[in-house]
Structure 1
Amino acid sequence: MFAKPPTGSFGATPREIRNKLRQYQDRTEAAPDAFIRYELPGILNDNRDAIAKLLGAPTETVVFVPNATAGVNTVLRNIDWDDDCKDEILYFSTIYGSCGKTIDYLVDSGRGRISSREVRITYPCEDHEIISSFVDAVEDSKREGKRAKLCLFDTVSSLPGVRFPFEAIAKTCKEKGILSLVDGAQGAGMLHFDLEALDPDFFVSNCHKWLYVPRSCAVLYVPFRNQGLIASTVPTSHGYISKSGERFNPLPRSHPIPFINNFQFIGTSDTSAYLCVKDAIAWREKTFGSEDEIIKYTHGLAREGGKRVAQILGTEVLDNKTGTISRCATTNVALPLTLEQASRASAWMMERMVFEYKTLIPLFTHNGRTWARISAQTYLDIEDFEWAGGVLRELCERVEKGESTEVLY
């Protein structure tokens, strides 16, 4: 059913849900005008309702976008940055690469109107240290005559794959009058959420990673108070309402809430994956149990599986003393290589994984060591982690024998 073991990068979709995807694609092709104009809006609403219930949010506050990067771009490109050139975007050094580059682009193209400020994180560290560093960055911004306007932060970071204290940072943002943009790319299906209680200013999460929805599908949450800030989708489409007057919209079925209507149709993109969210959530529950059961299993498997891989490699798992950063479905295990060996061989090792072992375990360097990130999914067990540990050990042994000097594929 699935590739073994998964990386958490792109997700995996069961055959039953892939069949649903193709059914929606076939319905679209059978009668494009009838389906897109008249049937699609209602099916979208049903799926928005399903993801809203999972995330603890009102249905009218969630829409679908292609992926988390698109959601982050949508928010950042809609914010009205002040002409006094004091606005700053705060982010953490573990930011996902494309989101970091989006901030870079906004700064580069803003002609001095926007600046950015990085908050450094070095793991293992405790949650209170991260919060303290964030508060210090806000104060530094103020002392330098800047204004911390928005902070972008993760639920579970990509590299390393650790849980971030997003609840505390969202609360601190509210106390400091800073807009909070939560990048929950590794979120829905991995962690419990109650967005009404968390109350971020913006939240985005992929549905194709842990909910087993086909690629590409993500949910963007914008509370009612901020929906007026999101004037346009990316790209702009028929739902946009100009301040100079509304142009003709050729689509007959409009949602009464302008924010929802804005995201209902964006060009002729294939959004069939959006229509599978309800089915995927139901499939997970039917196959693996409740959300509580799923999260308990995957978090426990990541914890125990990480320990087993570390035992096989003779190394250690990345964690802090309180164990907060490992309360998720990913684990990070150190490789038994020197930093010099690993820096030369990481690309070779990952390529060998793909073409020889039919898997991919991301390797990355953090705090002077090279780590492997492994994800725990509902369809895996401890034997899969033992297999992954064996692959990593074998590749490390091949590196030590000098194989990584061979020409890459």
Structure 2
Amino acid sequence: MASSNTTSQLADGASSAFGHSLRQEFPFDADYRNFNQGSFGAWPTAIHTRLRAYQDRANARPDPFIRYELPKLLDASREVAAALLRAPAETVVLVPNATVAINTVLRNLTWHPDGRDVLLYFSTVYGGCGKTIDYIVDSHQSPGQPPLVSSREIPLQYPFEDRDALAAFEAAVARCATEGKRPRLCVFDTVSSLPGIRFPFEALTRACRAHGVLSLVDGAQGIGQIGLDLGALDPDFFLSNCHKWLFVPRGCAVLYVPVRHQGLIRSSVPTSHGYVTSNSTNPRLNPLPPSRNSPFVHNFEFTGTIDCSPYLCVTDALRWREEVLGGEAKILQYTQTLAREGGTRTAAILGTEVLENSTGTLGRCSLTNVALPIQFTTEGGAGAEADGISALSAAEAPAVIQWILGKLMEDYNTFIPLFYGNDKIWARMSAQVYLEMDDFEWAGRALLEICQRIAAGEHRGAAN
């Protein structure tokens, strides 16, 4: 299928600029193919120019800019981000990344002294968020005493149906009840990281509300990749990285806290001048001008000296997406369709499959996950051949993944995240406005060549 035809079919009704014609808008190396928008993001040169302009303004007049201009520009960015999320501006603040946002929520919550509180999370949790949950449990435990708060993983096996995730949540809540525990909060994704699949976050938010469980929606992969309406969703807490899919420079994320819960979030992370102290006998000097915003928003206006220029680019990124690409609906139509069709084409080249459930809900995003033609066995040695490519021992999977990643970078000048599951290695690929179907065909051929090199034992030769 020719690239031009593919582009027009994928972007029916969208701007003809989608596809390779957009590569010139991004500062990629000429021969680099970016299949990994979902990790660290990428932004157009036009937005990079705006980033430098904000930095230049801060350097030209540091105090006037940081003390007086910056708060107004931050308000403007918060307002456009809130409008995109369909949330009130007073419920949205900007933080460096999703990890900071998760930490901000979990470190601010207090736990009942009876020790019955439980943090629920799914086995799909992002590793950094899982470690934050571990820290909360560990840091609320005295030597020789049970923890003040505990955690419970809700297991899921891919490819699961939406109803399976809901049933697993309901079972975890019921189990807590039988054990005399109190499910206090549940962490779940909009789109999970590895694999990159859409989670039934809308239904889970409703289920949390029905059980009196706080919902912490990890939308790190959300804004700019899927449509979001926080007014309709009404989560207890929500966060999303703007630097992954929204074309905002690293690092910038939104943290949403509805007014009803803002009293729970007493401090930013780290704590700074916006913190409302209970120490009335020793007031702290705040050298910054008075804020016109609520205590919650003021808390996040200044958290120490950092480069806030990425925050200010939210306004510019949304304007660029509207003026150059035609707006959010056209962007999502193109990228989600390309992810679905590109994943299918890559799997056909590899002779494998796309990770999807029977109802097709996992793939309703701009990521696709394709199995590599390498079978693994839990037996002690390698298994039989599958489609001409030898099966390997499961114990070899981590080393094989690292070898493939190295070859993708060294020999093919690209990077495609890989993960192991269901006795297979899966490739997670991002669909983006500067890619076309032939990029996915190229990726399929590259991955097939690498798998054939594994079949020839090249990966073991490198290890030796």
TM-score (norm 2): 0.86
Alignment of structure 1 residues 45-194 onto 2, 5 Å: 45-111=75-141, 112-194=147-229
- Report the counterpart of residue 366 of structure 1 in structure 2: 421
Match of 1:387 among 430, 433, 442: 442
- Report the counterpart of residue 303 of structure 1 in structure 2: 340
Which SS does the other structure have where 1:118 is aligned? strand
- Report the counterpart of residue 266 of structure 1 in structure 2: 303
- Report the counterpart of residue 318 of structure 1 in structure 2: 355
Which SS does the other structure have where 1:117 is aligned? strand
Distance in 1 separating the partners of 2:244 and 2:267: 26
Q: After superposing the two structures, state which structure 1 stretch, 26-35 or 241-250, moved more.
A: 241-250
Q: After superposing the two structures, state which structure 1 stretch, 249-258 or 51-60, moved more.
A: 249-258
Distance in 2 separating the partners of 1:21 and 1:344: 39
Q: Which runs of 4+ in 1 moved over 4 A?
A: none
Question: Once the 2 structures are TM-superposed, how far is the Cα of residue 343 of structure 1 from its aligned partner?
Answer: 4.0
Matching residue's letter, 2:332:
I
Asked if the contact 2:417–2:429 (Cα under 8 Å) also holds between the matched residues in 1, the reply is: yes
Question: Once the 2 structures are TM-superposed, how far is the Cα of residue 247 of structure 1 from its aligned partner?
Answer: 2.3
Distance in 2 separating the partners of 1:367 and 1:407: 26
Distance in 2 separating the partners of 1:356 and 1:264: 45
Question: Once the 2 structures are TM-superposed, how far is the Cα of residue 248 of structure 1 from its aligned partner?
Answer: 2.3
Is the counterpart of residue 353 in structure 1 residue 408 in structure 2?
Answer: yes
Q: After superposing the two structures, state which structure 1 stretch, 117-126 or 241-250, moved more.
A: 241-250
- Report the counterpart of residue 264 of structure 2 in structure 1: 229
Asked if the contact 2:375–2:423 (Cα under 8 Å) also holds between the matched residues in 1, the reply is: no
Asked if the contact 1:65–1:217 (Cα under 8 Å) also holds between the matched residues in 2, the reply is: yes
- Report the counterpart of residue 6 of structure 1 in structure 2: 35
Asked if the contact 2:120–2:186 (Cα under 8 Å) also holds between the matched residues in 1, the reply is: yes
Distance in 2 separating the partners of 1:172 and 1:394: 46
Distance in 1 separating the partners of 2:99 and 2:69: 28
Which SS does the other structure have where 2:255 is aligned? strand
Gaps of 5+ in 1: none
Question: Once the 2 structures are TM-superposed, how far is the Cα of residue 50 of structure 1 from its aligned partner?
Answer: 0.8
Deviation track 1:346-394 (CA, whole Å, cap 9, x = no partner) reads 1011122123222111111122221110111111111111111111111
Matching residue's letter, 1:187:
G
Q: After superposing the two structures, state which structure 1 stretch, 273-282 or 5-14, moved more.
A: 5-14
Q: After superposing the two structures, state which structure 1 stretch, 355-364 or 313-322, moved more.
A: 355-364
Question: Once the 2 structures are TM-superposed, how far is the Cα of residue 212 of structure 1 from its aligned partner?
Answer: 0.7
Deviation track 1:277-321 (CA, whole Å, cap 9, x = no partner) reads 010011112222121111111111000000000011000001000
Matching residue's letter, 1:19:
T
Matching residue's letter, 2:319:
A
- Report the counterpart of residue 317 of structure 2 in structure 1: 280
Distance in 1 separating the partners of 2:408 and 2:287: 49
Asked if the contact 1:241–1:247 (Cα under 8 Å) also holds between the matched residues in 2, the reply is: no
Distance in 2 separating the partners of 1:355 and 1:62: 42
Which SS does the other structure have where 1:344 is aligned? helix
Deviation track 1:237-292 (CA, whole Å, cap 9, x = no partner) reads 11001122352211104133000000001100111100000100111122221211
- Report the counterpart of residue 72 of structure 2 in structure 1: 42
Q: 1:248 to 1:343 in 2, by over 3 A?
A: closer
Gaps of 5+ in 2: 1-25, 142-146, 377-392
Which SS does the other structure have where 1:36 is aligned? helix
Alignment of structure 1 residues 177-256 onto 2, 5 Å: 177-245=212-280, 246-256=283-293
CA RMSD between the two structures: 1.2
Which SS does the other structure have where 1:81 is aligned? coil
How many residues align structurally? 408
Matching residue's letter, 2:231:
E
Distance in 2 separating the partners of 1:311 and 1:342: 23
Asked if the contact 1:38–1:253 (Cα under 8 Å) also holds between the matched residues in 2, the reply is: no
Which SS does the other structure have where 2:63 is aligned? helix
Asked if the contact 2:223–2:246 (Cα under 8 Å) also holds between the matched residues in 1, the reply is: yes
Which SS does the other structure have where 1:138 is aligned? helix
Question: Once the 2 structures are TM-superposed, how far is the Cα of residue 169 of structure 1 from its aligned partner?
Answer: 0.4
Distance in 2 separating the partners of 1:227 and 1:406: 57
Distance in 1 separating the partners of 2:163 and 2:398: 31
Distance in 1 separating the partners of 2:278 and 2:286: 15
Asked if the contact 2:184–2:214 (Cα under 8 Å) also holds between the matched residues in 1, the reply is: yes
Deviation track 1:69-119 (CA, whole Å, cap 9, x = no partner) reads 110010000001111111110000010000000001111111110100000
Distance in 2 separating the partners of 1:256 and 1:395: 55
- Report the counterpart of residue 457 of structure 2 in structure 1: 402
Asked if the contact 2:372–2:425 (Cα under 8 Å) also holds between the matched residues in 1, the reply is: yes
Question: Once the 2 structures are TM-superposed, how far is the Cα of residue 155 of structure 1 from its aligned partner?
Answer: 0.2
Question: Once the 2 structures are TM-superposed, how far is the Cα of residue 407 of structure 1 from its aligned partner?
Answer: 4.4
Asked if the contact 1:190–1:328 (Cα under 8 Å) also holds between the matched residues in 2, the reply is: yes
Alignment of structure 1 residues 23-34 onto 2, 5 Å: 23-34=53-64
